[in-house]
Amino acid sequence: MKKSMAEGNLTVIGEFILLGFSELPNLQGFLFGIFLIIYMSILIGNGLIIVITKVDPTLQTPMYFFLGNFSFLEICYTSVTLPGMLSNLWTQNRVISLMACAVQLSFFLILGVTESFLLAVMAYDRYVAICRPLYYPLIMNHKVCVQLVVVSWMTGIPGQLIQTYKVISLPFCFNELNHVFCDVPPLLKLACGDTSVQEFSVYAVAVLLGMVPFLTILGFYLKIITTILKLPLITGRQKAFSTCSSHLIVVGLFYGSGIITYLIPKSSQSGIAKFLSLFYTTVTPMFNPIIYSLKNKDVIAALKKLLIKLLA
């Protein structure tokens, strides 16, 4: 829908057309099936992690408290984009209103920031456990854990709401969004005139709310690795590395694709950005339960106990 403006030849864009995978008309049904399986896997896998971290007595520790919260976040994160993608693939109706796009974008950005900070909190938990083990129960008490999670969820809200308003209020010359959901880089491509100020704002916020947690994680792991290498026994080193490796893999998957998507100038981006965004919004949440399960004997044991109870 385009409403003519009283002055000039500009138009006000009232809705966008999400092109998605329209260049693959013969694969719409196949893609729907693939993404439905991915979404169900995310819901079931992360749902199981949430359940076992709540009910299993052996998992009532800060590390699994954060893991349960992280799994809940992954479900929320993918639910912002995947149901809409599935609807578009099923109905072939790719139209999204400006307001719906703004709501989707704001939740997507807020939850992305939350994930960055929660990953940093999980790295801090591992740092305290390995580098200051004697003080771990005192430092990481339940009250502190709850406060860290709340701060992670709340930090991105003000800035990302402002960010969303800045992007959505731009004058748009085109309404065909070459993406699978509303995201900042593809929206900037549709804006009229010079958007360098908005681009700088986007990348500045991305550095502040994305790269700062990432660098914090690297700092914690630098100290963790230094401490581990000082351990006298090889078995002690292996156990310490094992408790960190799952988190490091998830960090690498999330930040690797996210950095490429957001920190490459829009003029240099191509269709690969669409697939990279899918990577950190669907693939990472899908593999999160698998990564933590394969690397953690306690999680495997808890899952087995839960399955036995369900099948009994």
Between 116 and 298, where is the model more confident?
A: 116
Q: Is the pLDDT of residue 115 over 70?
A: yes
Per-residue pLDDT at 259 exceeds 80: no
SS3 at position 12: strand
Cα angle 136-250-235, degrees, rounded to a multiple of 5: 55
Q: Say what the pLDDT of residue 261 is.
A: 65
> What's the pLDDT tens digit per position in 279-292?
778 877 888 888 87
Is there a contact between 128 and 243 (Cβ–Cβ < 8 Å)?
no
Rounded Cα–Cα distance for residues 93 and 89 (Å): 8
Position 199 pLDDT exceeds 80: no
State the pLDDT at residue 236.
Answer: 60
* Most confidently modeled range among 76-90, 166-180, 233-247: 76-90
Identify residue 156 by its one-letter amino acid code: G
What number of CA atoms fall less than 13 Å from residue 57's CA on the CB side?
0
- Where residue 85 sits, what CATH number does that domain have? 1.20.1070.10
pLDDT in tens, 44-60: 999 999 999 998 888 89
Domain range for 150: 2-311
Q: Which amino acid type is present at position 76?
A: C
Indicate the helix (H) or strand (E) that contains 177.
Answer: strand 176-177
CA dihedral 36, 37, 40, 41 (to 10 degrees): -150
Share of the chain above pLDDT 90, in %: 31
Q: What is the mean pLDDT of residues 65-88?
A: 92
* C-beta of residue 220 within 8 angstroms of C-beta of residue 124: yes
pLDDT value of position 267: 47
Q: For residue 207, what pLDDT band results from cuts at 50, 70 and 90?
A: confident
pTM over 0.75, yes/no: yes
What residue spans of the chain are helical by DSSP H?
A: 28-55, 62-91, 98-131, 136-139, 142-155, 157-168, 184-190, 196-206, 212-229, 234-263, 272-278, 284-294, 297-311
- Residue 97: what are its φ and ψ, rounded to 5°? -70, 160
Residues across the chain: 312
The answer to whether the CB of 127 falls within 8 A of the CB of 166 is: no
Domain count for the chain: 1
Q: Average pLDDT for residues 21-31, to the nearest whole number?
A: 83
